[in-house]
Amino acid sequence: MEYATRKRLSSVAEPTSFVQVQIKSSSDANRFVRQFFHDDISMYESFFIVMLNTANRTEAYAKISQGGINATVVDKRIVAKLAVDHLCHGVILCHNHPSGNTQPSQADVNLTKELAQALDLFNIKILDHIIITTDSYLSFADESSFDKFLRP
């Protein structure tokens, strides 16, 4: 009788493959997440999560999806699974806008709210959602209305 084997859902970078840093601000988060993007930052959208411990030190990160020039699909179950598997205290969401516009779309806001609700079931907090472009970024946490991004 053959047994099914389970494949890894995505490649997750563990601390042995990157330098752990403490994220104290949106600029720290921006610097850390930029290492995931290369010349393709202005070509297509990609979505990553960074998993942090209680001291806001990076424990792991994972690419959740890669899409087209103006959108990518993010499966909330995969985000929740990875966050729970790593027993993280909080996550930073990150994606790029190839257009160069850092303003969040309504879909970005809705996704952030939905992920906040899902992760709240496991007492995992979204600490920030960073939107990056080739030369700038927007931090949801820096916005004075950050709570509106997390409320249902």
Measured between alpha carbons, how far is 61 from 41 in angstroms, rounded to an integer?
A: 17
Measured between alpha carbons, how far is 97 from 133 in angstroms, rounded to an integer?
A: 6
| pLDDT value of residue 8 | 44
| pLDDT value of residue 40 | 86
Measured between alpha carbons, how far is 117 from 128 in angstroms, rounded to an integer?
A: 14
The stretch 32-51 carries a mean pLDDT of 93
Domain of residue 130, residue span:
19-150
* pLDDT tens digit sequence for 57-102: 999 999 999 999 999 999 999 999 999 999 999 999 999 999 999 9
Structure-token pair, residue 102: 């850092």
Phi and psi angles of residue 120, each rounded to the nearest 5 degrees, phi first: -60, -30
Structurally, the chain folds into a number of domains equal to 1
The stretch 10-36 carries a mean pLDDT of 83
Mean pLDDT, rounded, of the chain: 88
- What's 55's domain CATH number? 3.40.140.10
Model confidence, pTM: 0.86
